[in-house]
Structure 1
Amino acid sequence: MTVRIRKYSWQLAPGHIRSIRQKVFVEEQSVPPELEWDDTDEIADHFLAVLPDNTPAGVARLFSTLGETGHIGRMAILPEFRGRGIGEALLRHLITESAGQYQELKLSAQQHAIAFYQRAGFHVCSEPYDDAGIPHLDMRCLAPALIQEQVDSKRFRPMLLGADTQPWLFDNESSMLDLMDSMVGQAGQRLWLYDRILDHDRYDRYRFRELVSSLARRHRLSEIRLLIHDDQPLVKRRHQLVELMRRLPSRIELRLVNSDYPHEDQPFIIADREGVVYRHDFTRPSGFAGFADSGRVRLLSENFQRMWDAGRRSLELRELPL
């Protein structure tokens, strides 16, 4: 169904936006009015989906925190218009709106709507919780620009670990970092990283560090292995991953490749049993990411384990002060 999306500030928003939310959330879902109407409305952009004859059908809002993360909320489609693709069109529009502005998108999804958001490139990032008496989970998209570029590709659950079977090719640093973060952000237990060095621009970023930290703290059996050739850049300049490793030594470990034994010439990141970000060489941001590539992950895991077993610990990093 053809649908048009109109954007408003709260001050200039037509009454349809308020009436749709009132009908869906307050009347249909019994959300208390004092929870539905909040101060965030004043700072958010509001979107109204209308049919070709200008009939209002759905709404959503979008606001940001610190200008880096966009928050999607209050998505609602009137009952009589559900099942016609209006929600998908509205969500695609919000992703397109966000692609050039935000590095990350977050939302709080009602549990029954998880699959709807997964089809658009969001993944679950919390345990279930109650909000206004309704089960919710937090979801996020760590690469809205890449998702927006692929909006017409008909991917099944894009970038969802264990589900997206099509490879993602990259040939620039920005796309590679988005794919790396999307992969690491979904790892449930295992993260193995192999590279020549822990490049500061690549691995010493705040978001990457927070994703690794979250994984390390999430599960008592979390296993994060960093396997590199050269630790001297880490000795000369503080690195967030090294500081994290020294605070969580039972979860994060670093070893140096033993050059006397066979080793890989291509760097890669492995997430759990199915995810991989693979570069063609150490010097260029060129390669591919596979979110459901268990066969390749199995082979790379075997090679990584051999290099890991032959590797050695860095004595210089161990002696650095915290």
Structure 2
Amino acid sequence: MDTPREQPEQTFDSYGDYRAALFAAIGNARQTLLIFDPDLRETGLESPQGIALLERLCAQSTRRDAVRILLHTTGWIERECPRLTRLLAHHSHCTCVRTVDPGARSWSQPFLIADERHVVTRFHQDLPRGKIGTDGAGGLALLATQFETFWMNGEASAVGTPLAL
């Protein structure tokens, strides 16, 4: 009987590879996404492909917290992301956007966790370098714990709220 082997971490060095890794993780997600990013600017989620992947996840997930997005600021989404804003409003029953507490704005490692199993992370918010992996070394659990802590202390955002109310 073969025992499942953990897949080795893969690295990337460009924003294009980062977006491809994010899209692959979202495409494989079945129930939940946790996303932390300063403003989502480099994620490509506003693109037609990003919107289609998020739409599919929201339509198939049975979770009320299918997509949770934690940001430093929502300004870029509000100004530059009409498709993403519409998607978040249309699926407000299973999506939520929050901003981190001002004291946590020094947190600078963007990441996405899909289905509590797969992670795509950049090493620093100002650089494209990062990695794709699973929870082999416990890094995913640490990121998830940080996310939950900042989520609880964060502020609800009007982004994705119907009529911004």
Same fold (TM over 0.5): yes
Higher relative contact order (Cα pairs below 8 Å, separated by 6+ residues): 2
Give the aligned partner of residue 297 of structure 1: 140
Q: Matches of 1:165 and 1:175 in 2, distance apart?
A: 18
CA shift, 1:236, in A, is 2.1
User: Measured at CA, do residues 315 and 181 of structure 1 come closer, stay the same or move farther in structure 2, by a change above 3 Å?
Assistant: closer
Instruction: Return the structure number with greater strand share.
Output: 1
- Deviations, residues 223-259 of structure 1 (Å, cap 9, x unaligned): 1101101111222234322211100111111001111
Q: Matches of 1:268 and 1:216 in 2, distance apart?
A: 19
Q: Which runs of 4+ in 1 moved over 4 A?
A: none
CA shift, 1:318, in A, is 3.6
2:78 to 235, 257, 269: 235
Q: Matches of 2:5 and 2:14 in 1, distance apart?
A: 24
CA shift, 1:209, in A, is 1.2
Q: TM-score, normalised by structure 1?
A: 0.46
Contact 2:98 2:151 in 1 (8 A): yes
SS at match of 1:298: helix
Give the aligned partner of residue 249 of structure 1: 92
- Confirm or deny that 1:288 pairs with 2:117: no
1:216 to 41, 55, 58: 58
Q: How does 1:155-304 map to 2 (within 5 A)?
A: 165-199=7-41, 202-221=44-63, 223-261=66-104, 264-290=107-133, 292-293=134-135, 295-304=138-147
Q: TM-score, normalised by structure 2?
A: 0.85
Contact 2:78 2:85 in 1 (8 A): no
User: Measured at CA, do residues 244 and 260 of structure 1 come closer, stay the same or move farther in structure 2, by a change above 3 Å?
Assistant: same
Larger radius of gyration: 1
Give the aligned partner of residue 149 of structure 2: 306
How many residues are paired up? Answer: 159
SS at match of 1:282: coil
Q: Matches of 1:269 and 1:283 in 2, distance apart?
A: 16
Q: How does 1:146-157 map to 2 (within 5 A)?
A: none
AA at the equivalent of 2:60 = R
Q: How does 1:67-146 map to 2 (within 5 A)?
A: none
User: Measured at CA, do residues 316 and 298 of structure 1 come closer, stay the same or move farther in structure 2, by a change above 3 Å?
Assistant: closer
Structure 1 vs Structure 2 CA RMSD: 2.3
AA at the equivalent of 1:192 = L
What stretches of structure 1 of length at least 5 have no aligned partner?
1-161
Q: Matches of 1:227 and 1:250 in 2, distance apart?
A: 17
Contact 1:235 1:317 in 2 (8 A): no
AA at the equivalent of 2:61 = H
Q: Matches of 2:6 and 2:85 in 1, distance apart?
A: 32
Q: Matches of 2:104 and 2:88 in 1, distance apart?
A: 25
SS at match of 1:202: coil
Q: Matches of 1:164 and 1:202 in 2, distance apart?
A: 28
User: Measured at CA, do residues 173 and 237 of structure 1 come closer, stay the same or move farther in structure 2, by a change above 3 Å?
Assistant: closer
What stretches of structure 2 of length at least 5 have no aligned partner?
none
